[in-house]
Amino acid sequence: MVKPAVLITGAAKRLGATMARQFASSGWQVAIHYRSSATEAAELAAELPDAITVQADLSDPQAIRAMVADLSTRLPDWRALVNSASRFELDSAEAIDPELFDCAMRTDAAGPVMLAQQFLALHGHEPRRVINVLDQKIANPNPDFFSYSMAKAALTMATRMLAMAHGDAARVYGLSPGAMLPSFDQLAEEHQRSGRMNLLHRLTLPEELAEAAVFLAEGHLASGETIHVDSGQHLMSQPRDVLFMARQEAFD
Q: What is the pLDDT of residues 68-107, one digit of tens each?
A: 999 999 999 999 999 999 999 999 899 888 999 999 999 9
What mean pLDDT, rounded, does the chain reach?
A: 95
| pLDDT at residue 78 in the model | 96
173 within 8 A of 130, measured Cβ to Cβ = yes
Q: For residue 176, give Cα distances in angstroms to 34, 110, 139, 232.
A: 21, 18, 9, 11
Q: What is the pLDDT of residues 180-238, one digit of tens each?
A: 999 888 888 899 999 999 999 999 999 999 999 999 999 999 999 999 999 999 999 99
| pLDDT at residue 76 in the model | 92
| pLDDT at residue 123 in the model | 79
We report the CATH number of the domain holding residue 108 as 3.40.50.720
Per-residue pLDDT at 242 exceeds 70: yes
| pLDDT at residue 34 in the model | 97
Q: What is the pLDDT of residues 31-49, one digit of tens each?
A: 999 999 999 999 999 999 9
pTM of the shown model: 0.95
Give the count of domains, the chain: 1
| pLDDT at residue 252 in the model | 63
| pLDDT at residue 1 in the model | 78
Per-residue pLDDT at 251 exceeds 80: no
Q: 169 is in which domain, residue-wise?
A: 5-251
| pLDDT at residue 189 in the model | 87
Q: What is the pLDDT of residues 13-24, one digit of tens each?
A: 999 999 999 999
Q: In degrees to the nearest 10, what's the CA dihedral of 115, 116, 121, 126?
A: 140
Across residues 54-73, what is the average pLDDT?
Answer: 97
Per-residue pLDDT at 248 exceeds 90: no
Cα separation of 168 and 172, whole Å? 10
205 within 8 A of 165, measured Cβ to Cβ = no
Quick one: pLDDT band at residue 127, thresholds 50, 70, 90? confident
Counting residues of the chain whose pLDDT is more than 70, the rounded percentage is 98
Q: What is the pLDDT of residues 142-161, one digit of tens each?
A: 999 999 999 999 999 999 99
211 within 8 A of 20, measured Cβ to Cβ = no
| pLDDT at residue 58 in the model | 96
